[in-house]
């Protein structure tokens, strides 16, 4: 291999080399099998900072070795973090943190080095920062008591103390600390969700008993790129806010660029037929330039999505299951609205 060739080898070749090393192959054996010289393989190994052997399976909540390889390949191809995150099924915040936390000292992201760093870090027991720092805990508790959302607290900490990394907490860290009682005894009104615990993820009951329409559903991954850039009006995110006793609902629609929010009363239940009629009536009042796309979750209230598309001219796309961050603008808006429409409210009276 020519000089400097260890950096020009195909990604698949390098990936196979490290798979063999992790399986216990010697450096010379792995190099021979993938068709590179021993010196080339040695340079790869040194560049990776060693290879971590992880015998036990990794929880899906963590990034896997393959995820990190996808991240590295995407960065090398010039892809955006959001595109990479969508491909591996993680939030873009997770990928941003991964790149910043586990890249090499020279700033380059190397997947095998990153995987080893993450594995070592997980083995070190750490005291949560809100426990170790009483002043930080008091500040966070104070803002939550004022009904700030964890996302607002996280952003405020970064802006208020930009040169104090120990006080910069991500949104999920604040949620976890609140649910675990590490900040203060949690009450029903501390978080906007009104919850004092986190629901286990799973396949819950459907909203109206209808079978999900698996055909002709357009995935969020097929959505035009202009939607992601927020450079054009007419692209909406939507969901339902359900009232007390599951007897009333409001459809919330948020335009991604202008942040225009529409609250659409859904009268007579929230079946697919009723929701479809309400959305068609709401979008009929908007000019064609404001009716381009709508992104929704995979709830059965959108069983009539084809009918809605035909009546409104919208293209409707569906987020992945259990991926609320893919409709983050709408999710955040719903959290704000819950301050005014607490759970249990009869939304038919709104």
pLDDT at residue 184, rounded to an integer: 64
Higher pLDDT pick, 244 / 330: 330
Mean pLDDT of the 198-210 span: 44
Q: What is the pTM of this model?
A: 0.49
| Res. 48 pLDDT band, cuts 50 70 90 | low
Q: Which two tokens stand for residue 338?
A: 């819950």
pLDDT tens string 246-280: 778 999 999 999 999 999 999 888 888 999 999 99
Over range 290-301, report the average pLDDT.
Answer: 92
Q: Closest Cα partner for 252 from 312, 152, 333, 181?
A: 333
Task: Say which residues have a Cβ less than 8 Å from residue 197's Cβ, sequence separation at least 6.
Answer: 179
pLDDT for the residue numbered 7: 52
Say if residue 163's pLDDT is above 60.
yes
Instruction: Report pLDDT digits (tens) over 131-143.
Output: 888 999 999 988 8
d(CA 279, CA 252): 10
* Token pair listed for 185: 């005894």
What pLDDT is attached to residue 108?
A: 85
Q: How far apart are CA 313 and CA 288, in angstroms?
A: 8
Report the pLDDT averaged over residues 323-337: 88
Say what percent of the chain tops pLDDT 90: 28
The residue with greater pLDDT, 7 or 75, is 75
Q: Stretch 101-126: mean pLDDT, rounded?
A: 79
- What pLDDT is recorded for position 194? 54
Task: Indicate whether 202 pLDDT > 70.
Answer: no
Which pLDDT band, with edges at 50, 70 and 90, does 69 fall under? confident
Region of 234 (left: φ > 0; alpha: ψ -120 to 50; beta: rest) is: left
Residues of each domain in the chain carrying CATH 3.30.420.10 = 218-349
pLDDT of residue 252: 95
- The alpha carbon of 110 is separated from its chain's Cα centroid by a whole number of angstroms, namely 23
Q: What is the pLDDT of residue 6?
A: 47
Write phi, then psi, for 262 (nearest 5 degrees): -115, 135
Say which CATH topology domain 218-349 has: Nucleotidyltransferase; domain 5 (3.30.420)
171-179 and 150-160 are packed helices; what angle lies between their axes, rounded to 10 degrees? Answer: 120
Q: Helices (H) and strands (E) in the chain — how many of each?
A: 15, 6
* Strand extents, DSSP E, the chain: 218-219, 235-242, 249-255, 261-266, 293-296, 315-318
Structure-block tokens of residue 348: 């038919």
The answer, yes or no, to whether residue 350 has pLDDT greater than 50, is: yes
Closest Cα partner for 253 from 344, 338, 333, 172? 333
């Amino acid at each position: 291999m020519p000089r400097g060739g260890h950096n020009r080898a195909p990604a698949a070749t390098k990936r196979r080399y490290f798979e063999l090393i992790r399986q216990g192959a010697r450096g010379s054996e792995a190099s021979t099998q993938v068709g590179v010289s021993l010196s080339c393989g040695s340079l790869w190994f040194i560049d990776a900072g060693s290879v971590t052997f992880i015998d036990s399976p990794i929880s899906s909540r963590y990034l896997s070795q393959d995820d990190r390889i996808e991240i590295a390949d995407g960065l090398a191809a010039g892809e955006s973090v959001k595109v990479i995150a969508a491909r591996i099924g993680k939030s873009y915040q997770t990928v941003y943190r991964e790149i910043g936390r586990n890249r090499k000292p020279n700033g380059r992201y190397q997947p095998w080095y990153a995987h080893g760093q993450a594995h070592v870090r997980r083995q070190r027991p750490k005291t949560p920062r809100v426990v170790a720092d009483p002043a930080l805990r008091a500040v966070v508790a104070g803002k939550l008591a004022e009904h700030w959302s964890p996302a607002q607290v996280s952003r405020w900490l970064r802006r208020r103390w930009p040169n104090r990394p120990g006080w910069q907490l991500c949104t999920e860290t604040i949620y976890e600390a609140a649910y675990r009682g590490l900040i203060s005894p949690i009450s029903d009104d501390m978080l906007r969700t009104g919850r004092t615990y986190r629901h286990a993820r799973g396949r819950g009951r459907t909203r109206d008993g209808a079978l999900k329409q698996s055909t002709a559903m357009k995935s969020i991954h097929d959505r035009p790129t202009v939607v992601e850039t927020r450079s054009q009006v007419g692209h909406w995110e939507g969901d339902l806010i359900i009232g007390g006793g599951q007897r009333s609902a409001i459809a919330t629609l948020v335009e991604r660029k202008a942040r225009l929010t529409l609250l659409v009363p859904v009268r007579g239940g929230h079946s697919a037929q009723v929701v479809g009629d309400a959305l068609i009536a709401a979008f009929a009042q908007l000019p064609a330039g404001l009716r381009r796309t709508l992104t929704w979750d995979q709830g059965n209230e959108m069983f009539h999505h084809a009918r809605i598309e035909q009546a409104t001219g919208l293209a409707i796309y569906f987020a992945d299951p259990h991926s609320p961050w893919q409709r983050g603008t709408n999710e955040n808006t719903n959290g704000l609205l819950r301050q005014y429409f607490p759970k249990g409210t009869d939304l038919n009276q709104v």
